[in-house]
């Protein structure tokens, strides 16, 4: 595994990291390969991406699951299938994406339309409602070229709480009896706490 991949995996919530590792194994079995592009982002990184608004427009700082360890961006090499005659048959990028998306859904990840290779823990609408309700994400985000100081101040109250929750392994359905949910985390995190 590349240094970049281990660094990205170690920053993700363990529930997500385990599934992303598994997707990497699936890709290998398919004769493809997984490259991890982006995992957990700081508010500054998210702000840069939001301002950039490239071919994958990013959410306003505070609004992205990427900031809390709940999302990852991956790319996959085309799947190579060996036919019954022993010849390699190379899938199109769209077919490869579709196969990997199915694998991701199979292990409970949320796949987002028009954002190939982006996998997240929570359904987008559910997460957005929560993140707006707790004041981490504005209902109507301002256009790009935002004021980082303003955003940072409004986020401070909840950021630590969310990061602590995102580091728990409750989503794995396992044993972290010592972990108590920081307040005020709110209803979304009942799934974790
Ligand atoms: Zn993403």
Q: How far is the CA of 57 from the centre of ligand 1 (A)?
A: 9
Q: How far is the CA of 153 from the centre of ligand 1 (A)?
A: 24
Residues bordering ligand 1, an ion, CB closer than 5 Å: 73, 118
CB 59 within 8 A of CB 50: yes
pLDDT for residue 104: 96
pLDDT for residue 179: 39
Q: Is the pLDDT assigned to residue 157 strictly greater than 60?
A: no
DSSP string, 160-188: HHHHHHHHS-GGGT---TT----TT--GG
Q: How far is the CA of 116 from the centre of ligand 1 (A)?
A: 9
Q: Is the pLDDT assigned to residue 144 strictly greater than 50?
A: yes
Q: How far is the CA of 117 from the centre of ligand 1 (A)?
A: 8
Q: How far is the CA of 91 from the centre of ligand 1 (A)?
A: 23
Domains, the chain, ranges and CATH?
A: 3-191 (3.30.1380.10)
Between CA 64 and CA 171 the distance in angstroms is: 19
Q: Is the pLDDT assigned to residue 183 strictly greater than 70?
A: no
Q: Is the pLDDT assigned to residue 5 strictly greater than 60?
A: yes
Q: How far is the CA of 181 from the centre of ligand 1 (A)?
A: 26
Q: How far is the CA of 115 from the centre of ligand 1 (A)?
A: 7
Whether the bond into 158 is cis, omega within 30 of 0: no
């Amino acid at each position: 595994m590349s240094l970049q991949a281990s660094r990205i995996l170690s920053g993700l919530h363990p529930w997500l990291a385990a599934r992303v590792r598994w997707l990497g194994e699936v890709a290998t079995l398919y004769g493809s390969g997984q490259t991890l592009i982006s995992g957990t982002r700081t508010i500054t990184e998210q702000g840069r991406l939001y301002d950039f608004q490239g071919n994958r427009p990013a959410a306003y700082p505070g609004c992205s699951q990427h900031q809390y360890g709940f999302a990852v961006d991956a790319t996959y090499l085309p799947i190579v299938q060996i036919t019954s005659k022993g010849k390699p048959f190379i899938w199109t990028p769209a077919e490869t994406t579709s196969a990997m998306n199915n694998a991701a859904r199979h292990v409970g990840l949320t796949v987002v339309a028009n954002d190939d290779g982006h996998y997240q823990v929570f359904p987008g609408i559910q997460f957005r409602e929560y993140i707006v309700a707790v004041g981490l994400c504005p209902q109507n985000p301002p256009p790009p070229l935002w004021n980082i100081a303003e955003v940072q101040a409004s986020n401070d109250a909840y950021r630590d709480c969310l990061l602590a929750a995102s580091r728990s392994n409750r989503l794995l359905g396992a044993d972290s009896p010592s972990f108590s949910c920081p307040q005020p985390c709110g209803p979304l995190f009942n799934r974790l706490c």
